[in-house]
Amino acid sequence: EDASLFKFIANILEGDKERRILLILNLIENSRNAKLIPYLRNLLNHPSDDIKIQVLQMLPNFDYADFTKEVEPLVHDNTFEIRTAAIHYLFRKSRNGQQVLESLFNDSSNDVRTAVLMVAAHHYSHDKDFRRRLPFVQYFNTLIKEPEQSRG
């Protein structure tokens, strides 16, 4: 019976019906079943933003799996929520999250840099240790200093 239920879920996750996929993702959002990993990897390439966001939110359930290869391209996605969730994932998954944020903060895309600031702001508000390790506020302040007026 469990095998037929999983096959039913797998068929929906492999299908093309966005609403059904989202419903199944909502049902299994707290699952840690390793059999789901290949389906989640594939769904990170799904055309639906809602599906990608839902899957990105589920990835922390699978700390033993590495989705970095699939998530990295999403840092440059057109949707802010996807970019931000991808950066959150890469920050949490990396052994050196600070380096990940610093590297992405130097990205040529304003959209990526904005998403990095949102991730940093989230961690600043929840983790005092993060503030000490990653002085983004000071760095940000140096970026927005007014240019010195030329003397003439």
Residue 129 confidence (pLDDT) = 72
Confidence of residue 9 (pLDDT cuts 50, 70, 90): very high
This prediction's pTM? 0.84
31-80 pLDDT tens trace: 999 999 999 999 999 999 999 999 999 999 999 999 999 999 999 999 99
DSSP the chain: -HHHHHHHHHHHHTSS-HHHHHHHHHHTTT---GGGHHHHHHHTT-S-HHHHHHHHHHGGGGTTS--HHHHGGGGG-SSHHHHHHHHHHHHHHSTTHHHHHHHHHT-S-HHHHHHHHHHHHHHHHH-HHHHHH--HHHHHHHHHPPPPPPP-
**What is the sign of the dihedral through the CA atoms of 39, 52, 107 and 93?**
negative
